[in-house]
Structure 1
Amino acid sequence: MTKNVVTILDTGETYGCAREENLLDAMVRLGRKGIPSGCHGGGCGVCKIHIVDGTWRGKTMSREHVSSDEEARGIVLACRAYPSSDVTLKVLGKMKKAVCRERKYGLV
């Protein structure tokens, strides 16, 4: 199974993600912590990210958390996005401060 490389700019963390696996599940399965994790079903918005480089395909996004304009610009929920290539992303969700704080204090 070929894996794409996912890079989280906020933490510098990288991990492999198969095309059949969403960005959040792959990270959690590997024990990584760069993207905040919530419901894993697209309903909470905690895993909101901005894909700044790379291609992806997505399942339906909750319009409560991601507008169609945002989605067109690569702002998506990690639990609903599947990589089609290597991907570089930034965290935007509700828990972004916690991720950045962990990185700052070397907790990641």
Structure 2
Amino acid sequence: MTIEVGPRRIAAGHPALAGHFPGDPLVPGVLILEEVFAAVVTSFGPGQLIAVHWVKFLAPLRPDQDFRVAVTSMGGGRIGFVCRSDGGVLAQGQLQLADEAVPT
């Protein structure tokens, strides 16, 4: 089952954006992953993240840019995700939760 969450947005004033990068600001990958995990919790309920199996960052995310997160329970606590904006796929990957994720 795939659930799409969004729109999401990282505000230009977020403290993690300071210095990342002046004149050409980019949202750090760790903030994107934080939003992915928030989408997992919203979609499947609380769980303990125990691994990031793999992630590919395919396009830059800019501050104040809307994006959506699609999360898919793959069984055994494994969660697939894809982050998209109007410009296409931003990031994709797979996470591992300690317990089986069950859609709510």
TM-score (ref. length: structure 1): 0.29
TM-score (ref. length: structure 2): 0.29
Q: Which has the higher strand share?
A: 2
Which is higher, the Rg of structure 1 or of structure 2? 2
